[in-house]
């Protein structure tokens, strides 16, 4: 497929206001210094009134901020937090990607890499299935810990106090009729996950979707993230045993690449 055809396809689905908002953020980033409203408007060739509305929205969400009232704009804490998260987890992502590709090639279902961030699962990387009907989360988005395979795989290897903190601050909200909402039941699920070495999301986050996950350990043996495989339940259920075993093995290899030399966190069975 030619670059021209690809470009036309992207143009077909482009959201103009999102394009403009990203243009504003990139202009502030590339300037290397705070920029005022008039200068941003001039650089982008956009009316000041439209630029001001974009800046107000970005400021409210924390993606840009003003040095002082009425002053110039610079990148805000929300943008910087994403940049810092990416940099902080770069070794994890680099170690995981080759194994994620092999999982995608072998099972043709979406493969995700996530970490725990502020009591939620933050998606660092996602390799999408080629199936027309697939399950995929966008990189940079967040999901609940209690219902997702990524979240369970991580939580199963957290200290009990950290698990209690997630329950207290985030809650165990019912997303589907299958979501575990009882603290006692969720802790039993985590114990089961820890014993067998992999986690499951059986339609608990989205009806009709299933996910398998396994933890990644760092040099000190602490959990640093997880990899999951997600897809429609009708496709995931038949491959569960083999895919779970492959996930556990892949995450053990990623853990070793990060310096973890301990024994395996569990044997995939069930």
Q: For position 8, what pLDDT does the model report? A: 47
What confidence score (pLDDT) does residue 86 get?
Answer: 61
Q: How far apart are CA 35 and CA 265, in angstroms?
A: 51
pLDDT of residue 11: 58
Please report, for the chain, the start and end positions of each structural domain, with discontinuous segments joined by +: 3-83, 89-257
CATH no. for 89-257:
3.30.450.40
pLDDT at 53: 92
- Consecutive 10-residue runs of the chain (270 residues): their mean pLDDT? 43 73 86 88 91 91 82 79 66 93 94 91 86 64 92 97 95 94 97 96 93 95 95 92 96 94 56
40 DSSP 8-state letter: H
Supply the pLDDT for residue 229. Answer: 95
pLDDT at position 66 is: 87
What integer pLDDT is reported at residue 184 of this predicted model?
A: 97
What's the pLDDT score for residue 52?
92
Nearest alpha-carbon partner for 122 in 246, 225, 5, 11? 225
Structural tokens at position 66: 């003003």
Task: Please give the C-alpha separations between residue 234 and each of 200, 210, 230, in angstroms, as whole numbers.
Answer: 14, 9, 11
- Classified by CATH at the fold level, domain 3-83 comes out as Arc Repressor Mutant, subunit A (1.10.10)
């Amino acid at each position: 497929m030619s670059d021209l055809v690809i470009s036309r396809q992207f143009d077909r689905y482009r959201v103009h206001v999102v394009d403009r908002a990203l243009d504003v953020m990139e202009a502030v980033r590339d300037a290397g210094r705070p920029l005022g409203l008039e200068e941003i408007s001039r650089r982008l060739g956009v009316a000041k009134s439209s630029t001001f509305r974009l800046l107000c929205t970005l400021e409210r969400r924390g993606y840009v901020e003003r040095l002082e009232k009425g002053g110039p704009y610079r990148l805000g804490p929300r943008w910087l937090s994403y940049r810092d998260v990416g940099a902080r987890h770069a070794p994890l992502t680099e170690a995981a990607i080759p194994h994620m590709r092999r999982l995608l090639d072998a099972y043709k279902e979406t493969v995700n890499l996530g970490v725990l961030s502020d009591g939620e699962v933050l998606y660092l990387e996602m390799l999408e299935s080629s199936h027309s009907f697939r399950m995929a989360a966008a990189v940079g988005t967040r999901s609940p810990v209690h219902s997702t395979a990524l979240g369970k795989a991580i939580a199963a290897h957290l200290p009990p106090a950290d698990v209690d903190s997630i329950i207290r601050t985030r809650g165990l909200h019912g997303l589907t009729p299958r979501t575990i909402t009882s603290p006692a039941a969720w802790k039993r699920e985590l114990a089961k996950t820890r014993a067998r070495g992999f986690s499951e999301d059986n339609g608990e986050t989205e009806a009709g979707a299933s996910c398998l996950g396994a933890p990644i350990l760092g040099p000190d043996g602490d959990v640093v993230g997880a990899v999951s495989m997600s897809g429609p339940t009708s496709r995931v259920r038949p491959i569960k045993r083999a895919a779970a075993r492959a996930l556990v093995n892949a995450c053990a290899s990623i853990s070793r690449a990060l310096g973890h030399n301990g024994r395996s966190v569990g044997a995939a069975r069930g």
